[in-house]
Every structure is written in structure tokens, then in C-alpha cells.
Structure 1
Amino acid sequence: MLGGNPDGYAGDGDNKASIRALQRGRDGEMNRIYKRSLFARLLVWMLVMTTIPFILSNVISYRSNYRTLQEHSIELNQNTMTIGMDNMKKYLQELNLLSVSWYADPDFARYVWKNMTRFERNMYIQRKLNETYSRRPEIKMVNFYDRGTGQHFQLDNLMGNDRWQTVLPPANEKEWDSVANYETKQLGNERFLAFHKKLIDYPNSTVIGLLSIYVSLDELERLNRQLFDSASETMFLFVDRNNQMLYSSASELKQLDSMDTIATDPSKSKGYSFGKLNGKSGVYVYIRDQYLGVPLTSLKFISAAAINKVARNTLNQTIAIQAAAVACVILFALLLSYSITVPIKRLVHNVSRVGIGMFDGVKFNAREDEIGILEQRFESMVHNLKEMIIKDYQQKLEVSTARLKMLQAQINPHFLYNTLQSISTLALRYRAEEINDRISELGFILRYSMDMKTEIVPLGKEVEHIEHYLSLQENRFKNKLSYRISCESEAENVTVPKMILQPLVENSIIHGIENGIGAGFIHVDIALNSGLTIRIVDNGKGLEDGTIELLKKRYAIHHVQDWEGGGIGLMNVLQRLWIRYGDSFEWQISSVPYDKTEITLTIPLEEAIQNETIDCGR
């Protein structure tokens, strides 16, 4: 049986699932806060729109500053290294003068001309070696090969010859021409600069001997100490065409044996290349020169961290300023959000009150900005809505009262029709056929007008209705009124709102014919083309231009109140047609007083054809 606790293992899985569930819950909560809070969205977007430009500007600025600082550092170090190279050449000149000082000795001529005994000759050479050795403290050994006697003279600080045997030049005169004037020598852990100079009897050009001076690097280190920062830079000096390393400031680090591993351009006197030293990236800056035909190279390694340090300091200062700016943005977002969300919450609260019918107490603080305008408009809207509700209630109450009064005053339609039928029968009994016709027409008109349930009718019924109406009016006015109705048979099946023709014909009679001059004539013309066109033409008094313009303005704002004393008239018909057909309905009116007044209605056919689904839900 295997050991362990399966329940414990299951518990670990449950814990992980619980942690994931908590994480999803936190993510969901943050998402809900973001969606529901205007402040959260405003803060997030302001931070995004602020930090992204900051980050981009920091990256661009950092790279630009790094390149600029790098170029500036390279140029500055090359100038400094040029000064160091001049100092090195002066130092080599001083070493060279040590050999020239032999020529200035008065006894040198005797030595050259061999006017000395062997003992005197040896003593002279020892004296000159002592003088040369004591000239500079960094001189560690002086060696001289005497060509004339073949003797070898050496003077060092340890008074021993064996230590220097491995670094001495060849004693054979034939090999002296291959010896470089300046070269580096390694003796144990110590590196020396070796200076070799052949002493020549001028003008005979006879070689007298070979003088070698070995100096330590103390003076070179002193000359170069001010040219580099030991914390971030490393200095190297190379001599000879083989670029032998003479000096390195990084004694504890891995030394560069040569410049072969560094990418340099031999044709340029100065330049730079990128590389690594002891695992650190940086840039190698170098300058080249020569002294007495001996190539000299000064090389400095500058770590990338040193160049980055200044750029990072600048970046840190910029980030500090930008962090303060972000803090200001957050504070500004808080203030802006407060100034926006508080009025919005107040507006939502008032909307809720209005939604439950509490119109009183909707007040806002006086503000002149956009939110203040919104609050003022909402307050005005609530006030208007309250008035409209009250007015609508009053209108409904008035309509109910009017209907009650109408019912109270209304005669039973069957009683009215039966009474008219009895009068018509009586008229026929007394052979009064015209009276019978008029009573029949009046019965048709009353029956059509008192049918309150039907709102949409075929156009043929409207035409039949105005025929009865005009017949009664013609009988009333006798010879003063005549009429003609023209209607295409196809148009009779088109459905239209009820009672749209009688108000127009009635207007022509009341405002045109009654106030006209001479006999009046009314022509009703109905045609079916791309739409239903209804024309009512009369020769009555007509309308003035100002009245026509007022009609058009009132129609444009769909205002009917207080027009024509509140009766059913032209504006009522126009508004009813506009409500049903919208802007597809068009109308025109023109008037030449006492000649021709014409009203044209154009109803879109696709909205008014028969069998259309009409009056749905009414």
C-alpha cells in the first residue's frame, strides 16, 4: 500500500482552483469597476494618453542622449589622448637626449680617437654609465657594448648581470641594425621600456658601440594618470610596428597582448571601435603617432556603463519630473471626474424622481458650462413635461366632458333617420320631390359625418359625400354657385383619411364664393398618376400672399391651434395628411383674387393604395 494522503493532494488542487477563482473574481470586479465608473475610465485613459508619450519620449531621448554622449566622450577622450601622446613623445625625447649627452662630453673625443689606455677607457665608460643611470630615477639598468674592444658594460640597481641576460640586445655588431630604437621587455612580472642607441663617430659614420637604457613605467604611469578614470576606463600604450604593449592601467585585469583583437583602421590616425574587455561592453578609442620612425599607439577602453551613467541620470531626472506630472494628471482626473460625475449622479437621481412621477423639487446648481446647460435643459424639459401632462390631462378631461355633453345632447341616430324618412315620405305624398331629394342628401351627409368609428375610407365615398354636400350648397345659393367633380375610376378605390375633401370645399364656399363677385364655380379634379393628385379650384375672393406665407409657416412648424377659430379647415386637413404620410405628402396653393384659387394635394400612391394594411392598432 502506497503511503501519502490523497485527500491532501486533492486539497492542493482545490487551493489552486480557489486561487484561480479569486483571481478571476478580482479581474471581473476590476472590469465591472472600469465599465461602471466614469472616473475609472477617465483616469485609465488619461494615464494611458500621458504615460505612452512619456515612455516613447524617454526611449527616444535616452537613445539620442546616449549617442550624443558617446560621440562627445569619444571626441573628448581623443583630444585628451592627443595631449598624452605629446607628453609621451617629449618623454621619449628626453630619453633620447641621454644618449646625445655622451657626445657633449669633452673626453668623448679622446675615447673615440682611442687616445686612452684600456684602463682609462674602461673607467670612462663606467663613469658615463653612472652619469646616465643617475639622470632619472626610473632608469633600472644601463648597458653598453664597446665595439672597439668587444667588452660589455652593465650597470643596474642590483649590481648583478644574470637577471638582465634575457632582455639584452645581441652582442654581435651585425645584428644591431635589426634592434628597434624603442621596445618593450618583460622581466618577471615587471615590464620595461628599452631604449637602444648606436653611438656613431661623425662624420666618419663609424659605430663606436650600442647603448641600451632600461626604464620602468613609473614615469609613463604618472604622465597617463590624469588621462583616464580608473573606475570606468582602461589605458594602454603600444610601441613598434608589431604593437607591443608597453603600458596598461589595468594591472589586475586580463592584459591585452596586442591590438590584433581590436578592429582599427590602420590608415587613420585616430578612431574608435566597439568591443569587450573582461566581459564588459564598451568602446575602444585610439590615436596613432610616431617618434623617430617608431610607431606609437595610445588606446583607451571606455565601458558602456560609464556612458550610460550620465544618460541614466538624465533619464532619472526626466522620469522624476514625469512622475510628478502623472501625479498632477491623477489629481486633475480626480477633480475633473468629481466635477463631471457629481452633476451626472445628481441628474440620474432627478431622472429617477421624474420616472416615478415626482416632478417637484427638481433643482440644480447654477453652472455655465456644458453640464450646467444640460441640467438647465433637463429642468426646463421637466417643467415642460409637467405642463404637457397637466395639459393632456385637462384635454382628456375636456374631451370626456364634451363627449358626455354630446351624448346628452345627441339625438338617437335611428330616431333622426326615421324622422327624416317620414318627412321624405310626406314630401313625396305632397309631390315635393325636390324637398325629398334634399332630405335624402342631408340624411346621407349626417350618416357619413356621424360615423365616428371609421377613419380610413375609399376615395369614392369621399367623392359621394362632397357630391351631396355641394348639391345642398348649390340649392342654397341657387344660381350663384355651380360645381364640377372629375374623378378617374381607378382613383375611387384608393383609401384616404376620412373628411379631407369637405373642409377644402367648405373653405372655398365660405372664404371664396360667399365673399366673391358674381357667380361662383368650384372644380374638384382627382387624378391617379405616380401618386394621387387632388385639385380644388374656385373663382372666389382668394387669398393674399401674406396669408399664403402664414399658412406655409404654420404648416412647417405643424401648428394648428387658434387657426380658423379652431374649426376643421385647411390646416387641419394638411396636418392629418402629414401625420399619416409624413414628408412624402406634398401640397401647393396659389391664388389670383376673384380669378382662380387652386389647392393641390399630392398623396404617395404606395402609401394610399387600396388593400393596404391601414389603421392597425387603432
Structure 2
Amino acid sequence: MKWSKSKISSLQTLIALSYSIVIVLMISIIGFTSYAFTTRTVEENTNDYVFQLVTQINYDIEYYLRNIENTVNTLKSTEDVKEYFKISDEEILMKETLSDKLNNFMVSRNDIVNIFLLRKDGNIIVNKGDYEFKPNVNYKNEEWYKNSITTDKMIISDSHIQNILIKRYKWVVSCGKRILDEETGEFLGVAVVDLNFNLINDMLNNLSLGEKGYMFIVDSEGNIIYHPQNELINSGIKDEDIDFILGSQDGYISTIENDRTKNYIVATSEYSGWKIVGTVYEDEVNKYKYITKQIFSIMIGLSLAVAILVSLIISRKFLHPIKDLLKGMNQFKNGNLDTIIQVKHGNEIGELADEFNDMTVEIKKLVEENKKTENSKRKYELKALQSQINPHFLYNTLDSIVWMAEAGINEDVVAMTSSLSKLFRISINRGSEFITIAQELEHIESYLKIQKLRYGSKIDYDIKVQEELLQYSIIKIIIQPIVENAIYHGIKTMQGPGFINIEVKDVNNKICIIVEDNGVGMEEEKCKQLLEDNSANETKKTGIGVRNVDQRIKLYYGEEYGIAIESEIFEGTIVTILLPKEKVEKEDSNEKK
């Protein structure tokens, strides 16, 4: 069917109107992009600025620590200090003199708490003051003392409570350098300066990092040297992501704290190994972020409102036939192959409906042909699956034969080999898909004899059959997968011996095969899964599989036949196979169906 240009142009006009929606979307995309770019640029510039501040603070602290080291070097080079570390028995007068001189080093220095001279024999001198040493003080166990013995560098401890003097509980950082005999190089002791945080606190608190921003210091081991909220840190109310900081390079890194983005800006001191960390909350740095976000949101909201209004106007003109087309497609999708769409519009939608109607006619033909092809294909695929031999069972059986032969158990070797031969002979059956019930029972008995020889008293079985049913024909190898499943998933894992009972009987003029075991059983949901058409639910150790047996039965005999499973945890499982009574041998029965 040909359509006039005037009719086609009407749809083109409507399509042109829809471009207004595209414009709104583009405005929204540009708005979001601009917003994201703006806020990110502000954040990066702020982080770069804070990094410069942190770097400067790092430099100032390095300079401060070097100054402390110079003070310690000056102290240890004085003659009185040298003499104190050399004499064997120091005099009280000398102690007082040295205490006075130590005080001279602390003049106008509010950052130095105490200065100690620690001899290796345990004698201590501290700057003059109302001080009393703790009894049995053993500073030699302190890490900073141990580290001082092995290097000429100044050792800086982590932040700790002063533990040499009584009733002096200040938080300090100890800076110590060893003193050696100038002639022999023998270790004599350590000169130690205890620092408070006055100067560091002044340096860090003079910077503004937002209302809640702050700086803190950690050493290379992750110990917090200084933190403005030290009480909260020590009480466990607040914490910092120290491992994250130690594992990161200098620069800025982000983390989440209580749903807020927190940026760490890190600079590492080459002199002390300390990391100076600036902490900035993103929402405080970007004070106008939320206002900008609200403006953009209002603009986008108005654009969306206009877009919806335009779409409603457009839908009145051409969405109704599209809905009819969609409705017909859904009917066709749900299986109604006779669907015909009645759309009488002289535009592309009407043409599309006609094409769809032509397509449904062709698809209906193809579906009918495909059903026949697929039915045959499935039968052949299932037949191929059914003919496969479980390699694990064959390997274990042959391994058992070898083991019994080596052990000289010849009777069992003959019995197992004979059973295996019968098992394969019936499985092959000259390519026939159907065997008698007698052959099927001979097949499963051979399989059970092999398993009995392998597992001994762990497995026992009994087979009962009504004699008049032995010559009836059934599809082959439908009992063995059920029994295999019972052994490996019901009996093998249970405590004590297992028993499998197989019974073949006539029920309402139908063949009923019952396989019952006293294994561990299973839940009702598991029973359903065994028969569901889902490859993920098929057991991997049962050869062909229970579901495949059920599918084969339904394919050859119809949906009214198949497998039913009843089970109870720790009580066992009953599998019932229902088949029609047929005496006629069937060869390639799939062609009849």
C-alpha cells in the first residue's frame, strides 16, 4: 500500500514537535554537567590550597624539630654534662648545678616540659624543680630509649603520658639522642627533651579549614602524635582512618564519615617520618554547593514539567494508535498467533500495523513447522544424553576390579565384571530405545550388585515385580538414575546401613515403579527443583539425571506420565514412576509422536 506525501507529513510534523523534549533533555544534561564541573573545580582548588598549607606546616614542624635537635646537641656538648656521664659516683652539688644549667635551656621556652639526663646505670638528672622520681622507674624499657642506643639521629617518640616523675601526667613527645664516650665510643646514656604541644597547637590552630576542619599528626607506625580532639580519640568516640592514610601517597584522598565526604590532605616529613594531615569536609568547603544544586534542580524541574505537557499534547494525536499496536503485539507475545491489528491511519503507524499483520501470518507458519522440528530435535538430544556413560561410575568400578584382583578376591572380580558387562549390554541394546521390564530390572540389579560389592554392608536392596508385567515394554534406563541419586545423595552421607526397595506393580491398568530408600531425605523445595526445567538444579553425579528421566517419559508418553517425588528429612525418599502398559516394541518412536 502506498501512502500520500500529505499523510506522511502529518506524522513528520508530530515527530518534529518531539524535538522540544530532546532540547529539554539536553538542557538538563548541560545543567548537570556544568554543576558537576563547577563543584569539582572548587573542590580541587580548595584541596590544592589546603595541601599548600599542610606542606608549609610540615616544613615549619621540621624546622621546629631540627631546632630541638640543635638544643639537645648543645646540651650534650657542655663540659658538665660530659663529666656527669663519665664519673662513677656523681655528687649532690653537681646534680644541683646541672639541674640549674638544664633550666637555662628552658628559659623563655614554654614548649619544653622537662629535660632529662639518663645514665645507662639508672641515675637520672632532671631540670630544677619540685620533682620526685617514680620508684623503680625503668626508662630502659621505653622504645625511644632502645632506639636511641643504636643511632646518632635524634629519636622522636610517639605521644605519651610522662612516666618518670610523680604527679606529672602531661602528654609529651620525647626527643632523645645518645651520648658516647668521645675516646672509646662507649654508650653512656641519653639526653632527653620532653615537648608539650603548645607550639604545635599554635601552628595548627591558626589555620582555618572550615567550621569543623582540623589538622592532626601521625607517625610512621600509625600512632597519633597530635590531635585537637585527643580526648574524643582516646575515649573511642571519634576515630580516624589511619590505615587509609598510611597506605596513601602525599596529596588528597577522600573517605566517607557519617554520610559526609571527608578529604584528607597529607604531607610526609622526610626528617621525622610524621604525616601532617589536614581534614576538610566537602560540604563546608563548598558552601554554595547546595544553593547551586537547588537552582539547577528548579530549572530542570520546570523543563521536565514543560516536557510532560508537550508529551501529553502529542500523545492525543498519535499515541492512541501506537497503544493499539502495542496491545496487539502483547497478545501475539502471549501466544495468540491469530492476532490482527486494526489501525486505520494513513501514516507510518498504519503501514507498520499492516507489516506486523503480514509478519504474524508468516511467524505462525514458522512456529508450526518449528514445533515439529523441535520435537524431533529434543527427542534425539535426549536420546543422545541417555546413551552417555557416567565416567566416574565406570572409573570407580574398574578401580574396584583392579583392587580386588590385586587382593586376590577372584569371585568378587568375576561377579563385578559380569555385572558391568550386563549393564553395558542392556544400555546399548543394539540402539533400541525400548526394552522390557525384565531387561530394565536386570540392568538395575547389575548396577546394584556392583555398588553392593563396592560399599559392602553400607547398601542392601530388594526388587519385587508382578510376573505378568515382565514382558511389557518401557523406555530403557529409567530406574538406574533414580537409584544412583538415592545412593549418592541419600544413603552415602547417612549414618548406618542404607536400603533400597524397588517394586514394579500394576496400578489402575498402568505400570507403577516405586524406588524407596531410607536415606537422609530432602526438603519439599528440593524435590520440586529436581523436576524443574532448570539446568542449574540438575544433580551433577547422577548420570542422566532425574529431571531428564522425567522429561523423556513425558516426551514419549505424554504429560500425564512421569515422576513424582515424596521425601522427608532423615526419613527417606520415595520416587514413583508412572508409565503406560504397552507390549508393542517401539523403534524410533519419536517419529510416531
TM-score by length of 1: 0.38
Q: Which has the higher contact order (CA 8 A, sep 6+)?
A: 2
TM-score by length of 2: 0.40
Pair member with larger Rg: 1
